[in-house]
A and B are shown apart, each in its own frame.
Chain A
């Protein structure tokens, strides 16, 4: 049983009178620990697919089994619980809460999960250390560089030790060097066993993934696997 099993997923948006098929008959299975890049031109449905995988959106048809459980029929609160415990998000624009410090931003998922304050502090401190942010703990996002911001976001995405990380253009707002740092960081997480699914335009970044899902007009057009360990 694969970690993620999508079968015949349909997602239709209504724009005025016309209907847009954002996703059409998408069927794919992703094993735990895989490193997948979702690629394709804009409007091809990459982000919609990622939102569906992250349970932020519901399909109009088809089934989504996450770890063997059909999650499309869950209530909103049940889905929130799955997101909280199994899924970490990394966004292109970081999405840090501007008034909270780096440490507080990282602690947000723990707070939402109701983890006691005393237990939070050591976990956040450890995460700050692991991501090289220990000197930045009390800085607000506007006092951090782009790379630091994304590292805070990744620390936040991993603090609950999720089964998978969904990253939407994680390097899109970063320069090349910091982008590579962030990519390496994500890959090291993947190496520790977390499923990593990255949506990207960037063929270089896409090329590093062991598996590439190519999308076009809402359909999966190619499922490429690198046989050997990917080129650096």
Chain B
């Protein structure tokens, strides 16, 4: 029996019992569709989160003083016990790295802010002009910190939206003098309301030039330096360059920590990726059930067609011929089910995208292939037993059955 004949014979057998075949295909297609839709959902959620984070500026590198890792005994660690300060000069030096686009130093401290008779505690952020662009904030009024030498302590301040409201009420704020600690500063702008950013509420912040903040808090060190790489792809090389520059500036010892937002993003990516996998696994159970159904249906088919099997044997079919014919039938049913399921799943994913436009609910390629593969493999695997049973039938007894 040629392979083409086996296939043709199996096709005729499958189409010869339309109801049975339709039910079988339906069961298999539901399994595959479940995999496709659920992974589309999971992966859509993952992509949604990743996109949202990317919008925050995923090509950010954050440099903080001190080392978080435990290294071995190096030459440097024998002589220095405390890390050196991370200074404004260090921050400026990072601009020399070819893959670094912009930097902005950060210094944080708590102080008192006063205007008129009002007084309140406030978080003071010392930074530079590029902070606005790097974080993607916008101004509501006035302008942000002027572009000037990082070591120049200009007496200007930018207020967060809530702070402005509380301090000035309906009065105009821009151009007024305020007092922070024992310094008098001129308000030059107000930040647009942005709500809770990661970690701190910019609406209750007062932003001053970094040198002003350092003088205010009498410190030399920076809280951190934000570095923006030229692109997401340049992130790794930019990180390396930052480390190299810092190492040269510190006589070969790297006493800073460099983290990327990518690392945070990677964690989310992994969590949601694992979730997608888990969901796909649950959906795969329905595929296994469909596989068992294939077996059941094929066993019934063997019983139904016992006389036919006996006849084929009498006509000179070998056990192999019969085994292959039944296996081909199981494989065809699974394949048809898998393809129908694929179409159904894509339809479902399309419906999801229609219902939730923000969710990019596209099934990942791996899930599509895994779904199809599992469907066909389970179908064939569960088809083996019925096929073997058919091939082993005794021809005399099989022929006697009618």
Contact = CB atoms under 8 A, between A and B. Distances in A.
Contact of A84 (B315, B320, B395): B315
Contacts of A147: none
Contacts of A100: 12
A113 B2 CA distance: 9
Contacts of B315: 83-84, 89, 108-109, 112, 156
Interface stretch (B168-176, B218-226, B305-313): B305-313
A56 B5 contact: no
Interface string B1-37: 1101100010011011100000000000000000000
A56 B1 CA distance: 20
Interface residues of B, number: 28
Nearest to B307: A95
Given A85-B316, A95-B307, A112 B399 contact: no
B118 interface: no
B320 A56 contact: no
B317 A80 contact: yes
Contacts of A93: 402
A98 B312 CA distance: 13
A80 B1 contact: no
Interface residues of A, number: 31
Interface centre among B2, B5, B321 (most CB of A within 10 A): B5
A16 interface: no
B12 A80 contact: no
A70 interface: no
A51 interface: yes
Given A56-B395, A56-B399, A114 B317 contact: no
A77 interface: yes
A142 interface: no
A20 interface: no
Contacts of B321: 112
A143 interface: no
B318 interface: yes
A138 interface: no
B307 A112 contact: no
A202 interface: no
A99 B402 contact: no
B140 to A, nearest CB: 78
Majority SS of interface residues in chain B? helix
Interface in A60-91: 76-77, 80-85, 89, 91
B306 to A, nearest CB: 11
A97 B311 CA distance: 9
A56 B312 CA distance: 11
B396 interface: yes
A51 B310 CA distance: 12
A112 B313 CA distance: 10
B2 A54 contact: no
Interface in B241-298: none
Contacts of A109: 315-316
A31 interface: no
A57 interface: yes
B316 A113 contact: yes
| B5, B315, B319, B320: most-surrounded residue (chain A CB, <10 A) | B315
Contact of B316 (A81, A91, A116, A117): A81
Contacts of B17: 99
B215 interface: no
Contact of A76 (B2, B12, B16, B319): B319
Contacts of B314: 54, 56, 83, 89, 95
A113 B313 CA distance: 12
Contacts of A54: 314
A108 B1 CA distance: 10
Contacts of A224: none
Given A80-B313, A108-B312, 6 more contacts: A56-B399, A84-B315, A89-B315, A95-B310, A99-B13, A111-B5
7 A-B pairs with the lowest CB-CB distances in the bound complex, closest first: A84-B316, A99-B16, A83-B316, A56-B395, A95-B311, A80-B318, A77-B318
5 contacts: A77-B319, A82-B316, A99-B16, A111-B5, A114-B2
